[in-house]
Structure 1
Amino acid sequence: MSKLWKIMLVILVSITLISVVALVIVLKFTGNQEKKAPTADEIVASSVDVPEITTNLADGSFIKISFKIQMNSEDGKTEAEKRDFQIKDIIIEQLSTMKPVDFNGEQGKTNLKNRLKEKINQIMQDGKVEQVYITSFILQ
């Protein structure tokens, strides 16, 4: 019986060691890779400027606003540059449904940026919008 216990113990220890080594290797090479925030240069390289747009709001007042749209890649930037007329159309369409009160506070502008991101992503095929930045804003 003693010999059988020794053999079973050696087999169990061997299986455990092999499992631990395999787990460490798998975690080291496949998992736990953190996504680093892009550098300023990477953001600029994948961003598109939307020049100042002046348009009426829903209540007849008007807004002058410009954006920088950060894409997920340089291919996305190229596509967004080709779709600039569609992007401007989406922006004007969204602004025309808004009133000055919709821009109050941080939350109002954040809602606009989120809506623009969602709408622009619907037309994109090669890239996706990562972030929308308001670069100028005048409301009258």
Structure 2
Amino acid sequence: MKNNKLLTIMLIILVSITLLGVIALVTVNQLNKGSAEEPSIDEIIEASVDVPELTTNLAGTNFVKISLKIQTDSKKAAKEIGKRDFQVKSIVIEELSEMTKSDLEGKKGKKMLETTLKTRFNELMLDGKVQEVYITSYIIQ
């Protein structure tokens, strides 16, 4: 009789723990669904800033003409990065001056530049962050 009572208590505890685990899992999944919504293209455009064409020397004898679009996580962040345009241009020029023509060739080179610029721009930001940097125009001579 004592073993039967002990077995019943253990089963109740096991079922309770399982139910708590299921409830926690469902709650976490529901919270993640809400935050995983992709913004519309209109929202992306509103939270983006264009960097007009820049012309600068590369490390070597070549030069590059480049235009960028910076996508931020909010309108407030886009406004901030717009105000920091002189800092943004300075960072772009600094980074490009350390690169050679061969560094920028191909998809891998352009992706590396975008990633580097994104990291550097995020170091400036106080309100929000830069999500993506896109090269919208690019010529090397």
Smaller-chain TM-score bracket: 0.7 to 0.9
The one-letter code sitting in structure 2 at the alignment partner of 1:57 is L
Matches for 1:80-95 after TM superposition, within 5 Å: 80-95=81-96
Distance 1:41 1:24 in 2: 38
The one-letter code sitting in structure 1 at the alignment partner of 2:71 is Q
The number of equivalent residue pairs is 138
**Residue 113 of structure 1, CA deviation:** 0.9
Give the match's secondary structure for 1:30.
Answer: helix
Structure 1 regions of 5+ residues with no counterpart?
A: none
Structure 2 regions of 5+ residues with no counterpart?
A: none
Query: Which of 12, 15, 20 does residue 13 from structure 2 map onto?
Result: 15
Distance 2:132 2:26 in 1: 31
**Residue 31 of structure 1, CA deviation:** 4.6
Q: Stretches of 4+ moved more than 4 A in 1?
A: none
| Aligned CA-pair RMSD | 1.8
Query: TM-score with structure 2 length normalisation?
Result: 0.87
Matches for 1:31-46 after TM superposition, within 5 Å: 31=29, 33=32, 35-46=36-47
Query: TM-score with structure 1 length normalisation?
Result: 0.87
Q: Given the alignment of the two structures, is residue 59 of structure 1 paired with residue 60 of structure 2, yes or no?
A: yes
CA distances 1:31-65 after superposition (whole Å, capped 9, x unpaired):
57253444423322221111111122222322111
Distance 1:44 1:23 in 2: 41
Distance 1:86 1:30 in 2: 40
State the percentage of identical aligned residues.
45
Aligned counterpart, 1:26: 24
